[in-house]
Structure 1
């Protein structure tokens, strides 16, 4: 799935503020296709 430029910018900003295990966890979530699909579905359902 493609991410919008704004989404990429926000993820990068979050990752720069984190370090250690929280940064690793956030990175895993940001790069997880299933998590991305669930987020996209949640966004569609909430509209």
Structure 2
């Protein structure tokens, strides 16, 4: 059994012009999708 790398997903907002907070949720979704690699495991969302 191969070891999976524990990865952190970091999302941040610098400006929210529409006051919707969509940038952070989109970044987290993208990060979760990227962390589905066979050798990665999302360990923490920041």
Relative contact order: is structure 1 or structure 2 higher (C-alpha 8 Å, sep ≥ 6)?
A: 2
For the superposition of Structure 1 and Structure 2, which TM-score range results when normalised by the shorter chain?
Answer: 0.3 to 0.5
How does the TM-score come out when normalised to structure 1?
A: 0.36
Q: Which has the larger radius of gyration?
A: 2
More strand by share: 2
More helix by share: 1
How does the TM-score come out when normalised to structure 2?
A: 0.36
